[in-house]
A = this chain, B = another copy of it.
Amino acid sequence: MIAPVGPNATVAAGSVGSTETRHVDLPRPVPLDCGRELHPVRIAYETYGVLSPERDNVILVCHALSGDAHAAGLASTPPEAGTRDGFAAEARDGAAGKALGWWDGMIGPGKAFDTDRFFVVSSNVLGGCRGTTGPSSTDPATGAPYGTDFPVITVADMVRAQRALLDELGITRLAAVAGGSLGGMQALQWAVRYPDQVDAIVVIASTPALHPQGVAWNAIARDAIMRDPAWQGGHYHGTGRQPDAGMGVARMVGHITYLSAPALEDRFGRRLQFADDIRHTITEPEFEVESYLRHQADTFVKRFDANTYLYTSRALTYFDLAREHGGGSLDRALGGVLARTLLIAFSSDWLYPPAASEQIAASLRALGKPVEYHLIEAPHGHDSFLLEEARQTPVIRHFLTGAGADSSTPRKRHE
């Protein structure tokens, strides 16, 4: 594929190639918003591109609710299961059983986050289940998995853990922090919490605080898990049972909120599974969209931990820049931001609607801070941030021109 990236861009949009998830054990406990500290903490991460000698070309990429550290390239070891979501996942199955990263279309030589220039770091969030310490990790106090004894995590905690990871990697400053959805919240949190360490943030399909309907959807998804008797109060590890039924429902709810009604209309309509008529069944799927949802549910439970879902969902509903950093005022919360800000929203995204990005843009503008806002007309709903790569790419590349490393001297990758 040729990325439409403007006159100065490199040409072929390549791949970062084979990648490997590495791990760092943090030397110190991570202090948490809830008042507890977490130790030990292991962080799973991947990197793409080459760190400049000045260490000034680092972009931290942050993942969304069900993501992981494997953002780009082909996993060098066959993964337990795919790590990407919905439509995007289907469009991108890797070759030979190797999974493509969840943002592979955006990270690589010549891509939006150009690994010829930037050193991209991607880590699994604190509380995760894909290599970073989370509820399924061993609680040193008991020798058993934490389960719901794991401390409640916030987006600020996730960012603290990322800061500690970067310390271990010898990285002080970030040329940019970028992410969509929950990933965008992390980018915002970076700019607010570590203003002198972040040159720019790229906040895609995100919000300064999830709207009440989004809070509700997340609450329903979590309740579906917790009402499953197999959840067992969160201590299902080692019992031979896990809340797959509830997780499936949570996933189906999430999935529909990630898509738009017109996208479902285009893709499924009211097409029936069998021939041209209904079979009069309560238990079996009749419509293609029903069958699709069940498939999504079945696939998801194989690759994702239910408690991590609960903790991550809770973190993203808690996130509230104005409440946490501005005494209720978004202007005050953003008052200390030094990073240049790029905001991208999608017209059909009703979970993280354009209005949320516009609120951030308005606030930063009122504060006289550098901000760019792009509304992309796209039909896919919230999932657009994973799908509309071609249209995000020129916007992000242009925004990152001059960021961090000198853009006139692309760094080639050394294998």
Query: Which residues of A are in contact with B by a Cβ distance under 8 Å?
Result: 33-35, 148, 151-152, 154, 209-213, 215-217, 219-220, 222-224, 226-229, 234, 245-246, 248-249, 252-253, 256, 259, 261, 264-265, 268-270, 278, 280-283, 285-287, 289-290, 293-294, 297, 310-311, 314, 317-318, 320, 323, 350
Contacts and interface: CB of A to CB of B under 8 A. Distances in A.
Contacts of A220: 249, 252-253, 256, 293
B223 A289 contact: no
Contacts of A216: 252, 256, 264, 289-290, 293
Contact of A212 (B222, B224, B248, B289): B289
A245 B228 contact: yes
Given A280-B152, A282-B311, A310-B282, A287 B215 contact: yes
Interface of A: prevailing SS: helix
B226 A224 contact: no
Nearest to A223: B249
B213 A261 contact: yes
A310 B286 CA distance: 14
B285 A219 contact: yes
A215 B152 contact: no
A282 B212 contact: no
Given A212-B289, A216-B256, A318-B278, A224 B224 contact: yes
A30 to B, nearest CB: 15
The CB with the most chain B CB atoms within 10 A, among A222, A224, A269, is that of: A224
